């Protein structure tokens, strides 16, 4: 059954409909991969084996009757341990959350939509404490290794979800992204992830990081991400900032290609970012494929200076709010880096915060004008490949914070734009390299369309997922 774990969600659903295999067979195979990977990767907070098999048997019965519950009935999914899931605790990587601290009787909106569509919940995936940084390790659950080399990080903060998808523990996962947290691990693990336009996927409870935080699909390819977006973009009254209903399907027009699109390619944000040569070369090859496919690609930079200071004000104050009521004992058990940035955030004033909001709005206006000229922007997702596990920054970094090595991701959380990461090659050590496609706000379908075109052109052909 190991071959079943290599299939995308779209192919699984087609196979169920044709009677080629069953949700129970697929779930057993995915669980085997998850169990085999867990000792070396630590990608899961909790495996839901018996519950998952019960859900798979119910799905199998629905398919036998010709009455599937929805678009992903019987597809194994994993959920980042930030999002509420009925019946299991949400620890958020923190010792401050007790297993019996609440009844755990509510699903987050995206989880609820998956449940309505018949998904099989396979596992809860690891996260750093409250998802605060770009790697995945926490005092409570330890560090998550990269499937291509467990001694290296899977990235974060949705590193467990990316690792799960990479090793065949279900083709779909839910992650969150407030500064790059689905795109960073996708880049490091050779998988796909989309940060949708803010509000496109409802979020509840609201993130302490406010409107920086997005829920997004983590998958094997763009087609599966479009499928998952069709499921999780449904409305939910608990999110006051959600966007209106989607007109049509994200899969509509997915095969429309990129011919005639005007695409800006910024290899280094105008020389502001030092990009590893192997990364730069792989991304450029991906950009050349866009040209071959008929896009009008122009090397052009978005023309903004690094907004990291404003991002830090919003990020650190969010961390302070998250931990505001912690006891001394709880603070003692926190991730030391989170404790440090929380203390910095607590010293920031309302005027500091509003000044950061002003810069954020100016950046959003700037990118809005940029996209009047260019349909899409392409950059490296990350300037480097995965580094050693269990640390916030690479060895020799002159910056103590994770934002020092993620300059291509967090600006687009400030602007709330749609952005994805897809694999475009590997470095000399066999570690995956990611290419980022950024679209305007509400440009999610266009971002997915361009990514799908690149997959069709073989952009990821040299990236082989590791065995479980």
Q: Domain locations in the chain?
A: 2-456
At 164, phi and psi to the nearest 5? -60, -45
Active site includes 161?
no
Residue 183 burial (CB < 10 Å; 0-12/13-18/19+)?
buried
Active site includes 157?
yes
Tell me how far apart the alpha carbons of residues 331 and 324 are, in angstroms, rounded to a whole number: 10
User: Which residues of the chain fall below pLDDT 50?
Assistant: 1
Catalytic one of 157, 161, 173, 421: 157
Catalytic one of 80, 92, 133, 195: 80
Active site includes 10?
no
Nearest-5° angle of CA 171, CA 172, CA 176?
A: 145
- Strand runs labelled E in 259-395: 262-265, 296-299, 376-380
Strands 120-125 and 137-138: unpaired
Tell me how far apart the alpha carbons of residues 420 and 446 are, in angstroms, rounded to a whole number: 11
For residue 208, give the nearest of 181, 175, 178 by alpha carbon. 178
C-alpha distances out from residue 347 to 188, 342, 399, Å: 34, 9, 21
Question: Which tens digits make up the pLDDT trace of 353-391?
Answer: 999 999 999 999 999 999 999 999 999 999 999 999 999
Nearest-5° angle of CA 214, CA 219, CA 220?
A: 150
Tell me how far apart the alpha carbons of residues 76 and 197 are, in angstroms, rounded to a whole number: 25
Report pLDDT for 125.
99
For residue 455, give the nearest of 423, 426, 432 by alpha carbon. 423
- Token pair in block for residue 119: 């998904």
Packed helices 444-456 and 222-232: angle between N→C axes, nearest 10 degrees: 150
At 437, phi and psi to the nearest 5? -115, 125
Catalytic one of 10, 158, 161, 181: 181
Strands 145-146 and 296-299: unpaired
On whether the 2-456 domain is CATH 3.40.50.1820, my answer is no
Report pLDDT for 468.
55
For residue 323, give the nearest of 302, 342, 299 by alpha carbon. 342
Neighbours of 70 (CB within 10 A): 17
Report pLDDT for 1.
41
Tell me how far apart the alpha carbons of residues 361 and 371 are, in angstroms, rounded to a whole number: 15
Tell me how far apart the alpha carbons of residues 272 and 383 are, in angstroms, rounded to a whole number: 11
């Amino acid at each position: 059954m190991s071959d079943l774990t290599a299939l995308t969600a779209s192919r699984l659903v087609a196979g169920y409909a044709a009677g080629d295999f069953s949700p129970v067979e697929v779930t057993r195979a995915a669980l085997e991969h998850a169990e085999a990977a867990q000792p070396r990767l630590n990608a899961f907070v909790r495996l839901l084996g018996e519950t998952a098999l019960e859900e798979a048997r119910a799905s199998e019965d629905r398919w036998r009757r010709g009455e599937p519950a929805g678009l992903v009935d019987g597809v194994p999914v994993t959920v980042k341990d930030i999002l509420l899931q009925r019946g299991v605790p949400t620890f958020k990587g923190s010792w401050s959350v007790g297993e019996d601290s609440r009844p755990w009787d509510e699903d987050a909106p995206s989880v609820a939509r998956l449940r309505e569509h018949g998904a099989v919940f396979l596992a809860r995936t690891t996260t750093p404490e409250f998802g605060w940084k770009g790697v995945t390790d926490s005092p409570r659950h330890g560090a998550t290794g990269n499937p291509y080399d467990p001694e290296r990080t899977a990235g974060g903060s949705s590193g467990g979800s990316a690792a799960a998808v990479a090793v065949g523990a279900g083709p779909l996962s839910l992650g969150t992204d407030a500064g790059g947290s689905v795109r960073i691990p996708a880049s490091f693990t050779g998988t796909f992830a989309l940060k949708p336009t803010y509000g496109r996927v409802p979020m509840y409870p609201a993130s302490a990081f406010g409107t920086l935080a997005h829920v997004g699909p983590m998958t094997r390819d763009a087609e599966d991400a479009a499928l998952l977006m069709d499921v999780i973009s449904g409305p939910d009254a608990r999110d006051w900032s959600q966007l209106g209903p989607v007109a049509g399907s994200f899969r509509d027009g997915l095969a429309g290609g990129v011919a005639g699109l005007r695409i800006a390619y910024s290899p280094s944000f105008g020389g502001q970012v030092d990009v590893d040569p192997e990364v730069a070369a792989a991304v450029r090859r991906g950009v050349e494929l866009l040209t071959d496919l008929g896009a009008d690609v122009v090397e052009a930079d978005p023309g903004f200076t690094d907004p990291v200071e404003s991002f830090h004000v919003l990020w650190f104050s969010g961390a302070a709010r998250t931990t505001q009521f912690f006891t001394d004992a709880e603070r003692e058990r926190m991730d030391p880096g989170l404790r440090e940035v929380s203390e910095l955030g607590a010293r920031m004033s309302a005027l500091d915060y509003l000044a950061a909001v002003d810069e954020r709005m100016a950046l959003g206006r700037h990118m809005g004008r940029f996209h009047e000229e260019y349909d899409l922007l392409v950059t490296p997702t990350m300037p480097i490949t995965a580094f050693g596990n269990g640390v916030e920054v690479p060895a020799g970094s002159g910056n103590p914070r994770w934002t020092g090595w993620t300059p291509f991701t967090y600006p687009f959380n400030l602007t709330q734009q749609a952005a994805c990461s897809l694999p475009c090659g590997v470095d000399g050590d066999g570690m995956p390299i990611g290419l980022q496609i950024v679209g305007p706000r509400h440009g999610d379908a266009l971002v997915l369309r361009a990514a799908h075109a690149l997959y069709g052109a073989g952009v990821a052909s040299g990236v082989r997922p590791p065995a479980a």
